[in-house]
Amino acid sequence: MTVPAFGVGTFRLKGQVVIDSVKNALDLGYRAVDTAQIYENEAEVGQAIAESGIARDQLFITSKIWVSNFAHDKLIASLKDSLKKLRTDHLDLTLIHWPSPNDEVPVAEFMGALLEAKKLGLTRQIGISNFTIALMKEAIAAVGAENIATNQIELHPYLQNRKVVEFAQSKGIHITSYMTLAYGEVLKDPVIKAIADRHGATSAQVTLAWAMQLGYSVIPSSTKRANLESNLKACALTLSEEDMAQIAALDRGHRLTSPQSVAPKWD
């Protein structure tokens, strides 16, 4: 099983807003949905999926374990709680959301528990999120690179995270990009807009296509059906080498998310 290249994210969406977003996405043809325990919307995502009428085997559902549930005796119980909320007996991918603050729970402990969850059939694949090279090395030592499906990281034209990407790819670990549109900042970028104009596309489509063309998965979110529909068209867009080079040159190490309580020492 591979991680789908394109899905819908649900970060910061709650209540009826997230139900409508996920239902619209599924109606438009999205089949991968990304959520997390800390988003406090798993139950609503589960409701949206149930009401969509789409068969479970057609979907790819991802959630993430929050740091307070990393201890061996808590992780699997918290995952079962997530499954209940999502109204499914398994996830397709379960991620460790952030590294354990101050290494309170060792990487080997929570990765071991996550691998146990996989062996129990509670999740098809396991992975990590917001992991640096040093933390990836620890995770690989704990469960083997072959058991780490992806590292989901902040990645957009202004933060291309090349060191982390190169290390992950050298170990066969896939990259999932979150905040691919940099909270909308890239939509105003003149370089990206010029590329979009050349292709008769939107800046969002160009940015998402750029990430997918580099081999990453993307999970953009939107509360507007029109934007969800427009974003999906990125899958059919092919950028030229020149386009890709111009976007590569936009990297400036501009990180948008680094919560003090959980952020590691970034590469």
Q: Report the pLDDT value the prediction gives residue 1, as an integer from 0 to 100.
A: 66
Query: Which residue, chain included where needed, has tokens 């529909």?
Result: 229
Q: Report the pLDDT value the prediction gives residue 89, as an integer from 0 to 100.
A: 98
The reply, when asked if residue 174 is annotated as ligand binding, is no
Task: Report the C-alpha gap between 29 and 26 in whole angstroms.
Answer: 5
pLDDT per position in the chain (267 positions), as tens?
Answer: 699 999 999 999 999 999 999 999 999 999 999 999 999 999 999 999 999 999 999 999 999 999 999 999 999 999 999 999 999 999 999 999 999 999 999 999 999 999 999 999 999 999 999 999 999 999 999 999 999 999 999 999 999 999 999 999 999 999 999 999 999 999 999 999 999 999 999 999 999 999 999 999 999 999 999 999 999 999 999 999 999 999 999 999 999 999 999 999 999
Task: Report the C-alpha gap between 103 and 5 in whole angstroms.
Answer: 31
Q: Report the pLDDT value the prediction gives residue 71, as an integer from 0 to 100.
A: 97
Kindly list the structural domains of the chain, giving each domain's residue range(s) and its CATH number in brackets, ordered by start: 8-248 (3.20.20.100)
Rg of the chain over Cα atoms, rounded to whole angstroms, equals: 18
Catalytic residue IDs:
39
Rounded to 5, what percent of the chain is helix, strand, coil? 50, 15, 35
Task: Report the C-alpha gap between 103 and 196 in whole angstroms.
Answer: 44
Q: Flag whether the pTM goes above 0.95.
A: yes
H-type alpha helices, the chain:
15-28, 42-52, 72-86, 107-119, 133-143, 162-170, 190-199, 203-213, 225-232, 241-248
Q: Report the pLDDT value the prediction gives residue 80, as an integer from 0 to 100.
A: 98
Instruction: Please say whether the beta carbons of 44 and 21 come within 8 A.
Output: no
What type of residue is 134? Answer: A
- Select from 92, 149, 96 the least CA-distant residue to 124: 92
